[in-house]
């Protein structure tokens, strides 16, 4: 089996269901305690939302969002192995509101711009060495890829410092061991 180990959906309609692909090469799945805290913080924003997980790995965060009432999820990863795992998870859960893209993040964002797809929640958990958080957030906002009151959630290793983007506010930052979660809100003035 590709990916070998597993993780589980921690809440919502799919609670307890297994997500395969915990150890896909080059990924860093969000730990259950971090995921539980994160989803507790954003619970009021999930229902009927359109969610983008731009560096999705196994699809862990996206599938958790669907389980908690998101309308649809867009899962993007440039790794063919990750995309195969995401497709297996989608099929295991029998979901039809999951859109999967085997692209790098810039190709995916360009596709969403071209097709006028807008998001309510965006998960950004790229390989830390890429340090593309500010670049991606700017592209999301400049190209109107996020709706008013959208959340952009960044998982990082402390690298994000003082990002200044118009209409984007840091509403929560939390540290979990060596990992940080920053939650930003986009509000049109």
Task: Express each pLDDT in 60-72 by its tens digit.
Answer: 999 999 999 999 9
The closest alpha carbon to 14, from 117, 102, 97, belongs to 97
For residue 1, name the pLDDT band (cuts at 50, 70, 90): very low
Mean per-residue pLDDT for 13-41? Answer: 79
pTM of the model: 0.92
Mean per-residue pLDDT for 53-59? Answer: 94
Residue 183's contacts (CB-CB under 8 Å, 6 or more residues apart) are 38, 41, 42, 151, 152, 153, 154, 170, 171, 172, 173
Task: Express each pLDDT in 25-37 by its tens digit.
Answer: 555 566 677 888 8
For residue 2, name the pLDDT band (cuts at 50, 70, 90): very low
Mean per-residue pLDDT for 36-58? Answer: 95
Q: What domains does the chain contain, in order, with CATH numbers?
A: 6-186 (3.40.50.150)
């Amino acid at each position: 089996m590709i990916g070998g180990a597993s993780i589980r959906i921690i809440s919502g309609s799919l609670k307890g269901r297994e997500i395969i692909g915990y150890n896909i090469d080059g990924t860093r799945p969000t730990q259950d305690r971090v995921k539980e805290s994160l989803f507790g913080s954003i619970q009021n924003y999930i229902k009927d939302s359109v969610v983008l997980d731009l560096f999705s790995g196994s699809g862990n965060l996206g599938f958790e969002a669907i389980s908690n009432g998101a309308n649809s999820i867009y899962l993007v990863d440039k790794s063919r192995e990750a995309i195969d795992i995401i497709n297996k998870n989608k099929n295991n859960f029998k979901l039809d509101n999951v859109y999967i893209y085997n692209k790098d993040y810039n190709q995916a964002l360009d596709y969403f711009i071209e097709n006028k797809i807008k998001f309510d929640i965006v998960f950004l958990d790229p390989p830390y060495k890429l340090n593309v958080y500010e670049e991606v957030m700017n592209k999301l906002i400049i190209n109107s890829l996020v709706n008013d009151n959208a959340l952009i959630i960044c998982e990082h290793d402390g690298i994000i410092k003082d990002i200044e983007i118009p209409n984007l506010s840091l509403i929560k930052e939390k540290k979990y061991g060596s990992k940080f979660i920053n939650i930003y809100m986009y509000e049109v003035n």
